[in-house]
């Protein structure tokens, strides 16, 4: 079931608290922190001759950020050097779950062969 929130008065106290903590400044700073971490060890997934990506550093950084937000974090690597970050926050309340899935690998910001 998909819920939409048409007006701010429909938000719960928790939803208001979560949204109040999301600011443009925090988002920009997180991006500024993550991009340089992901760039040095990134691979080129489009070019099979390029080296495999190594995402341990950015995985560790993302996991530590999630821990600072109060989530339980686990690292699971299906492929060595490319761990997935699993963050769980259990508030103990019944209800729907949210799964956020994203990629930690980044495409090089320069020519990977240079």
Residue percentage of the chain with pLDDT more than 70: 68
Cα gap 24→107, rounded to integer Å = 24
Evaluate if residue 106 carries a pLDDT over 90.
no
What is the reported pTM?
A: 0.67
On whether the CB atoms of residues 104 and 59 are closer than 8 A, the answer is yes
Would the pLDDT of 111 be above 70? no
Percentage of residues of the chain with pLDDT beyond 90: 20
Residue 28's pLDDT band (cuts 50, 70, 90): very high
d(CA 56, CA 38): 9
DSSP string, 26-60: HHHHHHHHHHHHHSTT---TT-TTSPPP--HHHHH
């Amino acid at each position: 079931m998909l819920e939409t929130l048409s007006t701010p008065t429909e938000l719960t106290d928790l939803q208001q608290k979560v949204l109040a903590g999301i600011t443009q400044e925090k988002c920009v700073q997180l991006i500024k922190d993550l991009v340089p971490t992901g760039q040095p060890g990134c691979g080129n997934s489009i070019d099979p001759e390029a080296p495999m990506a190594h995402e341990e550093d950015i995985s560790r950084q993302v996991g530590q950020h999630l821990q600072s937000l109060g989530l339980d974090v686990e690292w699971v690597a299906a492929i060595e050097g490319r761990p997935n970050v699993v963050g769980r926050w259990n508030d103990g309340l019944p209800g729907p779950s949210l799964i956020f899935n994203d990629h930690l690998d980044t495409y090089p910001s320069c020519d990977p062969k240079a």
